[in-house]
Amino acid sequence: MSLYKNAVKKPITTMMVFTAVIVMGIYSLIYLPVDLYPEMDPPYISVITSYSGANASDIEINVTRPLEDMFNTVDNLKEIYSVSSDNVSVITLEFDWEADLNEASNDVRDAIDLVYGFLPEGVERPSIFKFDMSMIPILFYAITAEESYPGLGKILEERIINPLNRIEGIGTTGLMGSPRRSIYVEADPVKLAAYNLTIEQLGNTIRSENMNMPSGNIRMGMMDYQLRVEGELAESYELNNLMVGHFQGSSVFLSDVAQVRDTLRDVALDERIDGSQGVRMMVMKQSGANTVTVARDVKNAIAELQRDLPPDITVREIIDTSVFISDSVNNLSQTMLWALFFVILVVLFFLGKWRATFIVILTIPISLIVSFIYLFITDGSLNIISLASLSIALGMVVDDAIVVLENISRHIERGTSPREAAIYATNEVWLSVIVTTLVIVAVFFPLTLVPGMTGVLFSQLGWIVTITVTASTIAAITLTPMLASQLLELKKRVERPGRFSHLKTIEPFLVWFEGSYEKTIRVALKNKKKVVAGGIAIFIGSLFLLGLISTEFMPESDESRLNASIELTTGLRVEETMKVARELEDIIRERYPEALVMAVSSGSDDAGGISALFSQRGPNSIDITMRLLPVSERYRSIWEIADDLRRQLELIPEIVEYSVTTSGGGFGSNTVDVEIYGFDFNVTGALAHQIRDAIRAIPGAEDVQISRKDDRPELQVVLDRNKLAQNGLNTAMVSSAIRNRVTGMTASMLREQGDEYDIIVRYSEDTRSTISDIESLVMTNATGSRISLGEIGRVEEYWSPPNIERKSRERIVTVSAVPSGIALGDLAQEINRVISSVDVPPGVMINVGGAYEDMAEGFMDLGLLLLISIILVFLVMASQFESFIMPFVIMFSIPFSFTGVILALFITNTTLSIIAALGAVLLIGIVVKNGIVLIDYINLMRDRGHPLNEAIAISGKLRLRPVLMTAATTTFAMLPLALSRGEGSEIWSPMGISLIGGLVFSTMVTLVMVPVIYGIFSRRGERDRIQKIRNKFKFMNGNGS
């Protein structure tokens, strides 16, 4: 018993099976997380090694290089990057996307074990750090305060962060720029000298006074008492009364030599939100948690918690990544509904019957729901890739059902009972339905095999379309016949159709259209050469247009946020940086009324944690984050605003470098990187500057930056070893003495209500702010007498490179540029042209990479994909037609689909991105399917004995509707995708545009070119075949067998 026979004979079973599928699908849909992209862990592992006291080049030679050499042998390694800066070496290993990172990190750990013994003593054990998508914050809040500002850190910690961490799915919550209380004991060096005291003595006194000590226990009578000495300071002012020494018989108190200041820690990072002081709060989710629900929970919680805060504290959202996600997901869902609507219209237009339309349309939800089950099983998420894939599949899933239903209706119209018609009509077409599906699968399945980052995106598309289309085929040969047998009725045509019925309105039009198409084919068949020549001319003509279309990697999307990183003169102190920041705030407030929230941070947080290792921020950097009005509520696009901001930044003389980015991570990276490999800093540095200036001259090149920062001014204390020896001192002792006097010595902690605050002892600021102040720092030598720093060394001004970057185990400097107003591919071309005119010194190598490299790789992958798809499609068709020629005839329509793509991109002025190119690849399957429908029928007609030209003309006429119908359902399903203008649409509309363009154009061409080419190829074959058969059976001629 075949599948369809069973399905028709057991309608209830069939219905139950599909109901089960629907129930499971809805269950899956409810539990599917919503995200922007499919889950993907970037294959990076960082190894962080600290070696205190070493400068960048020491680190490079002694730490980075031995480690790099060892890592080079790790499996699946793609590239090694490293940055060696003072005290720390950060090596980043990039692996293949397919690599198992757990295994890779074990390999890395083994490599570290092997080499660790050879590293200099004092190098701390390297720590391995795996990058995770969950480290990207999903929410940014700006929290401003007036009177409560000094205590803000503590308030937020208690009332916001701790409650937030209880929410399910929350990873970590971090505060940036929160003020911290410190108690400074600032001593006057002159008074210290007068009383014969040192900083260390002060510190030790505070340390030994500020403690609680258990001192044993006493048994008294029947009891056992604990004995304790309670000496801890309760308040900071008590410090003043500590006795720090004796001088000429009287006690010296701390207040005699120093001033105690209970205040906020020195500013290193200044956070301003819309100009007022505040902090930034970042919320990270756990890996795998649903961004949208976590963000919603956090927002609800914060709205609740905010009520308990002092009234002067305001919490405002700067960035909410979930908004973009849910907006684009909603947008795509809407797009899909529109697609569904259009497909219903198209089916109704062609079939003209409500019941038939209902049966056909029912396959859409069923096939889509199957893909929800797939996503649920594979831990996938509803994201823009999966939804767009569904949108693409939507127009294709009805095709099979249409073919089956059409055949069933034909049988019913001949008077067969619906039940029998359903069985026998399905029997006639089930094989060809499966073959056309195979063609689609042949194109989409290879997508699941694409390697690399593009592969992660494409594989979901590949799986979803493959699964959806397969599900639709299964539904078409089971559910559709079953429903047809139950719902369609055996009755004569309505005698008198209504005035506006399908029969009176659309049907005559379709009949007229079929007639004129038949005439067209007949004319074309008489002018084969002209038609072919015309076709080739159109195709070649379109190739010229290709030159006018610009290329880019991934289309950027307007996420309504903007980030600017600004670098001022190196070595600038943070107070100066803040002045520029205030100036920028004024400019932004004046010029960009679109900005809803603006957060400006100047300087860097010294205790910023691990993230500080990855971003090269210093006291001279400014970071501006802006959230803008939603796309629909403003006139200027994010790119226009970014460009304008760049012009403004250009005008401020203090700004050395800047970059304005408009994307919030993901795949928006859009830079061309010029990589300069070479050992000599001076040579590569000069070359980098030369190239930077040349690139800056290119119109459209923005944010041109050199990765190696300018040499930093440094004050170096050069010690005289002889004098050190005479005084019995060594470098470590001197450097710690200097540190205690300048930065301060953390003597102890003040404990108050469970919180601890540093007590820092140091020289008062006015006695340590010039070179001569430093030279006159006083310390004790081995004999206890006092000497000044000037006696054992001198202070010199010096320039040092702040970091040394390496890639592929060679020193590298990168000059990067971002295209604005021109396409990435064009910019890369221009840059290549500029570079070729630059003199490259010997020993230096230049390579152009960045997103441009990814783009080239992506297009290579797609080219390969195109090849594989064509081969697979050929295989399927050759075996279906049992012929080598027929597939070629059908494939003639493929070049014209590319012509259509090029035309569509050209007319709509869309750039050729990976996504648009992917559309072109996918077209193969859809276009070929059209060809198969037509050619198959021509073959049929010829086998049934019609002469060649007649067969072609008749088939054309009869198959016009199915061809138009499949093309129209796919086109109209894609139309909302191509036209959508909302959040996230920039990413997918190019694919819609290229698919529609290619499909419309190739359908027009298929309908004329394919029959003509069939005619050309088959004329010979016809005569030969008859002759061949006659030669085979010679027995009738009386000779042979």
Binding footprint of other proteins on the chain (CB under 8 A): 411, 414-417, 419-421, 424, 427-429, 431-432, 939-940, 943-944
Residue 239 gets which letter from DSSP? G
Q: Which is nearer to other proteins, 343 or 425 (CB)?
A: 425
CB-based burial of residue 652 (10 Å sphere; 0-12 exposed, 13-18 middle, 19+ buried)? middle
- CB contact at 8 A, 333 and 341: no
Nearer to other proteins, 434 or 629 (CB): 434
Q: Are 942 and 916 in contact (CB under 8 A)?
A: no
Contacts of 90 (CB under 8 A, 6+ apart): 46, 47, 48, 82, 83, 84, 613, 614
Task: Tell me how far, at minimum, the Cβ of 943 lies from other proteins, in Å.
Answer: 4
CB of 4 to other proteins, least distance (A): 14
CB of residue 480 vs other proteins: minimum separation in angstroms? 17
278/285 Cα distance (integer angstroms): 23
Indicate the residue among 131 and 424 with the shorter CB distance to other proteins.
Answer: 424
- In the structure encoding, which two tokens stand for residue 994, read together? 């290229």
Map residue 593 onto helix, strand or coil: coil
Angle formed by the axes of helices 354-377 and 11-31, nearest 10°: 50
Which among 856, 851, 847, 822 has a CA at the least distance from the CA of 674?
847
Q: Which is nearer to other proteins, 289 or 938 (CB)?
A: 938
Nearer to other proteins, 485 or 803 (CB): 485
CB of 424 to other proteins, least distance (A): 5
Q: Is the CB of 427 or the CB of 908 nearer to other proteins? A: 427
Q: How far is the CB of 944 from other proteins (least distance, A)?
A: 6
Q: Nearer Cβ to other proteins, position 47 or 408?
A: 408
The least distance separating other proteins from the CB of residue 15, rounded to whole angstroms, comes to: 22
Comparison of 896 and 937: residue with beta carbon closer to other proteins: 937
953 three-class SS: helix
Task: Give me the least distance between CB of 473 and other proteins, in Å please.
Answer: 18
State the DSSP string of 548-559: TS-B-SS-----
| 643 Cβ contact partners less than 8 Å away, ≥ 6 residues apart | 702, 820, 821
CB 931 to other proteins: min, Å: 17
- Beta-carbon contacts of residue 835 (< 8 Å; ≥ 6 apart): 674, 691, 694, 846, 848
In sequence order, which residues have a C-beta less than 8 Å from that of residue 928 and are 6 or more positions away? Answer: 439, 873, 877, 890, 891, 893, 894
Cα–Cα distance, 297 to 164 (Å, whole number): 9
In terms of CB distance, is 696 or 1025 closer to other proteins? 1025
Cα gap 626→976, rounded to integer Å: 31
Min dist. Cβ of residue 416 to other proteins (A): 4
Judged by CB, which is closer to other proteins: 28, or 407? 407
Q: Which is nearer to other proteins, 185 or 941 (CB)?
A: 941
Count of other CB atoms within 10 angstroms of residue 776? 15
Q: How far is the CB of 404 from other proteins (least distance, A)?
A: 13
**420 vs 514, which CB is nearer to other proteins?**
420
> What is the rounded CA–CA span in Å between residue 161 and residue 294?
14
CB of 414 to other proteins, least distance (A): 5
Residue 428: CB minimum distance to other proteins, A: 4
Least Cβ distance, residue 136 to other proteins (angstroms): 56
| Residue 378 or 417 with smaller CB distance to other proteins | 417
CB of 984 to other proteins, least distance (A): 46
Which SS3 state, helix, strand or coil, does residue 801 take? coil
Nearer to other proteins, 235 or 943 (CB): 943
Q: Please name the residues in contact with 962: beta carbons below 8 A apart, sequence gap of 6 or more.
A: 402, 403, 406, 933
Q: How far is the CB of 5 from other proteins (least distance, A)?
A: 12
E strands, 955-1037, where?
A: none
Q: Name the 3-class secondary structure at 708.
A: coil
* Cβ–Cβ < 8 Å for 167, 146: no
Q: Considering beta carbons, is residue 463 or 881 the nearer one to other proteins?
A: 881
List, as one string, the DSSP characters of 383-426.
Answer: -HHHHHHHHHHHTTHHHHHHHHHHHHHHHHHTT--HHHHHHHHH
Minimum separation from the CB atom of position 945 to other proteins (A): 10
| Half-sphere exposure at residue 939, Cβ-oriented, CA atoms within 13 angstroms | 17
Across 86-190, the runs of DSSP E, i.e. the strands, are: 88-95, 127-130, 139-144, 170-176, 181-187
Q: Are 280 and 177 in contact (CB under 8 A)?
A: yes
Q: Which is nearer to other proteins, 293 or 939 (CB)?
A: 939
By beta-carbon proximity to other proteins, the closer residue of 411 and 806 is 411
| Residues 31, 32, 37: CA angle, nearest 5 degrees | 160
Both tokens of residue 193?
Answer: 């000298």
Report the C-alpha gap between 414 and 424 in whole angstroms: 13
The answer to whether the beta carbons of residues 779 and 734 sit under 8 Å apart is yes
Q: How far apart are CA 529 and CA 532, in angstroms?
A: 5
The nearer residue to other proteins, 419 or 957, going by C-beta atoms, is 419
User: Among residues 466, 406, 395, 403, which one has the least CA distance to residue 432?
Assistant: 403
- Least separation in angstroms between residue 819's CB and other proteins is 54
How far apart CA 555 and CA 128 sit, in angstroms, is 34
3-state secondary structure of 762: strand
957 vs 963: CA distance, rounded Å? 10
In angstroms, what is the minimal distance from the CB of 961 to other proteins?
Answer: 19
